[in-house]
């Protein structure tokens, strides 16, 4: 095949495909024309790939065919309206539906962390078993602070975000077990309580809270949300209510997947704070204030925006076409 001759003979056809695929509104005749051009150009691309694989031509035709396929099948990606609906209705409604779960998980976590800190501080021999007084004092004054100065601010923030986001998504995804979210929560509570005990004992409470609270408030909030979402999926399996168990599980799973996306976004904000604000030279009260504002904003979003979204009929589920629903007698 002479690729140059083919390009010359098909130039007008390919250009018309390019224009129609990017036209905002198509008439019925134009849609029929686009469909015909799509099929003809697909055949041209197959011939080119087989007999004369010209990289530039293949790239251009593949791009235009992809755009045409999206117009013909109605899959044009995430529109502005869809993104707006997600943040105005779907996400806040899903969060609002588990608000009491979030509060319960928060209370359990904080009680467990406080109990672990009290145990380490007040039980004879526990601190001594963790190391010498000199090494623990060095951790409290040096290592605990140096952790926030690893790499560059951006690298450290992105690293923390990626790790925490992966944990949060696992927590949501593993919620159906009923065990994994509790395991993640208790492991983090014990770890936080132990660190708090060492730092408070050897450097004082303020030293601990001024480094933990700026990023810890939004970060822990994301952990609590992920844990609550995971447990809510498990509860749908245990107590499905008036609908079939598989349908209740599917609904909860789709809504909690929406929450998983929200957790990733919140943890990204937390990662920025941990990478740029926590190790900065800003006054501690300002850094804590920034973390507190993010936390307050999350609760306003859940309780106020979520309430309006729920009243509007949103439930955080995905589109009606997602998953399957069977007719049920009732």
The pLDDT assigned to 294 comes to 95
Q: What's the N-to-C CA distance of the chain in angstroms?
A: 65
Q: What is the mean pLDDT of residues 138-162?
A: 72
Going by pLDDT thresholds of 50, 70 and 90, the confidence category of residue 315 is confident
Q: Is 147 a residue whose pLDDT tops 80? A: no
User: What is the C-alpha separation between 196 and 210, in angstroms, rounded?
Assistant: 12
Q: Is 43 a residue whose pLDDT tops 80? A: yes
Q: What percent of the chain has pLDDT over 90?
A: 43
Reduced to 3 states (helix: H, G, I; strand: E, B; else coil), residue 156 is helix
Residues with Cβ within 8 Å of 32's Cβ and at least 6 positions away in sequence, in order, are none
Do 94 and 53 form a contact (C-beta atoms < 8 A)? no
Going by pLDDT thresholds of 50, 70 and 90, the confidence category of residue 275 is confident
Q: What is the pTM of this model?
A: 0.71
Name the DSSP letter for residue 147.
G
The pLDDT assigned to 318 comes to 59
Going by pLDDT thresholds of 50, 70 and 90, the confidence category of residue 1 is low
Do 218 and 294 form a contact (C-beta atoms < 8 A)? yes
The pLDDT assigned to 107 comes to 97
Residues with Cβ within 8 Å of 29's Cβ and at least 6 positions away in sequence, in order, are none
User: What is the C-alpha separation between 220 and 209, in angstroms, rounded?
Assistant: 14
Do 217 and 295 form a contact (C-beta atoms < 8 A)? yes
Tell me the average pLDDT of the chain. 86
pLDDT by residue (tens digit) across 100-144? 999 999 999 999 999 999 999 999 999 999 999 999 999 998 888
Q: What is the mean pLDDT of residues 204-214?
A: 93
User: What is the C-alpha separation between 147 and 122, in angstroms, rounded?
Assistant: 26
Q: What is the mean pLDDT of residues 5-24?
A: 88
Lowest mean pLDDT among 27-31, 178-182, 227-231: 27-31
Altogether, the residues listed in the chain come to a count of 330
Helix, strand and coil percent figures for the chain, each rounded to 5: 80, 0, 20
The pLDDT assigned to 73 comes to 73
The pLDDT assigned to 321 comes to 40
What is the H or E stretch that residue 306 is in?
helix 306-311
| Dihedral angle sign, alpha carbons of residues 276, 277, 279, 281 | positive
pLDDT by residue (tens digit) across 285-305? 999 999 999 999 999 999 999
The pLDDT assigned to 323 comes to 45
Q: Cβ of 271: how many Cβ atoms within 10 Å? A: 24
User: What is the C-alpha separation between 70 and 59, in angstroms, rounded?
Assistant: 17
User: What is the C-alpha separation between 222 and 275, in angstroms, rounded?
Assistant: 17
The pLDDT assigned to 327 comes to 45
Going by pLDDT thresholds of 50, 70 and 90, the confidence category of residue 282 is very high
Q: How far is CA 4 from CA 61, 110, 196, in A?
A: 15, 71, 72
Domain ranges of the chain: 3-73, 84-311
Phi, psi dihedrals of residue 134, rounded to the nearest 5° = -65, -45
The pLDDT assigned to 80 comes to 75
Q: What percent of the chain has pLDDT over 70?
A: 90
């Amino acid at each position: 095949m002479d690729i140059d001759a083919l390009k010359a003979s098909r130039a007008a056809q390919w250009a018309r495909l390019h224009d129609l695929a990017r036209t905002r509104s198509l008439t019925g005749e134009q849609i029929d024309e686009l469909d015909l051009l799509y099929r003809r150009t697909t055949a041209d691309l197959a011939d080119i790939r087989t007999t004369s694989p010209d990289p530039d031509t293949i790239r251009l035709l593949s791009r235009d065919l992809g755009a045409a396929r999206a117009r013909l099948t109605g899959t044009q990606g995430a529109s502005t309206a869809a993104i707006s609906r997600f943040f105005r209705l779907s996400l806040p409604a899903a969060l609002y539906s588990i608000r009491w779960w979030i509060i319960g998980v928060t209370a359990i976590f904080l009680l467990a962390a406080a109990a672990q800190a009290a145990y380490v501080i007040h039980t004879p021999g526990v601190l001594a078993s963790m190391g010498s007084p000199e090494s623990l004092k060095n951790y409290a004054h040096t290592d605990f602070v140096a952790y926030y100065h690893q790499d560059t601010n951006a690298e450290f923030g992105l690293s923390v975000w990626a790790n925490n986001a992966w944990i949060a998504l696992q927590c949501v995804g593993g919620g159906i077990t009923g065990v994994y979210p509790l395991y993640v929560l208790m492991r983090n509570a014990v770890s936080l309580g132990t660190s708090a005990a060492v730092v408070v004992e050897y450097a004082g409470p303020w030293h601990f809270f001024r480094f933990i609270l700026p990023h810890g408030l939004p970060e822990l909030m994301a952990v609590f949300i992920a844990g609550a979402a995971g447990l809510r999926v498990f509860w749908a399996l245990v107590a499905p209510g008036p609908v079939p168990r598989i349908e209740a599980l599917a609904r909860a799973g789709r809504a909690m997947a929406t929450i998983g996306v929200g957790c990733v976004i919140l943890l990204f904000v937390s990662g920025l704070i941990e990478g740029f604000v926590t190790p900065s030279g800003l006054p501690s009260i300002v850094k804590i204030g920034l973390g507190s504002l993010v936390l307050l904003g999350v609760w306003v979003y859940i309780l106020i925006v979520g309430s309006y979204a729920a009243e509007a009929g949103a439930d955080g589920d995905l589109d009606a076409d997602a998953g399957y629903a069977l007719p049920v007698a009732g």
